[in-house]
Amino acid sequence: MPWSASSLANEGLGYVILQANGNLDTPMLFAGLLIMSLLGVVLFVLVELLEYFVLPWHASRRTDAATTSL
C-alpha cells in the first residue's frame, strides 16, 4: 500500500523521491530520504512523549523489581 500510494501521487515527498530516482538526481533523492527519515524520528519522539504524559501508569515507566529483567 505505501508504495502504490507514493507511486500514484503527483505531489508530495514520495513523488519528489520517485522523480529524483527517475531523473538520476542523486542529491535530491538523498535529500528526500533524509527528510523522510527525520520525519520518522520526530514522529517517534512525539509518540513517546505523548505516551509519557498520557499513560503514567504504563509498564514502561515502572521501576519496581517485578518489571525488571535479567
The residue type found at 60 is S
More confident residue, 11 or 66: 11
Is the overall model pTM greater than 0.85, yes or no? no
**CB crowding 54-67: b at 16 or more within 10 Å, else e:** eeeeeeeeeeeeee
Mind listing the pLDDT tens digit for each residue in 2-41?
555 556 778 899 999 999 999 999 999 999 999 999 999 9
pLDDT at 62 over 50: yes
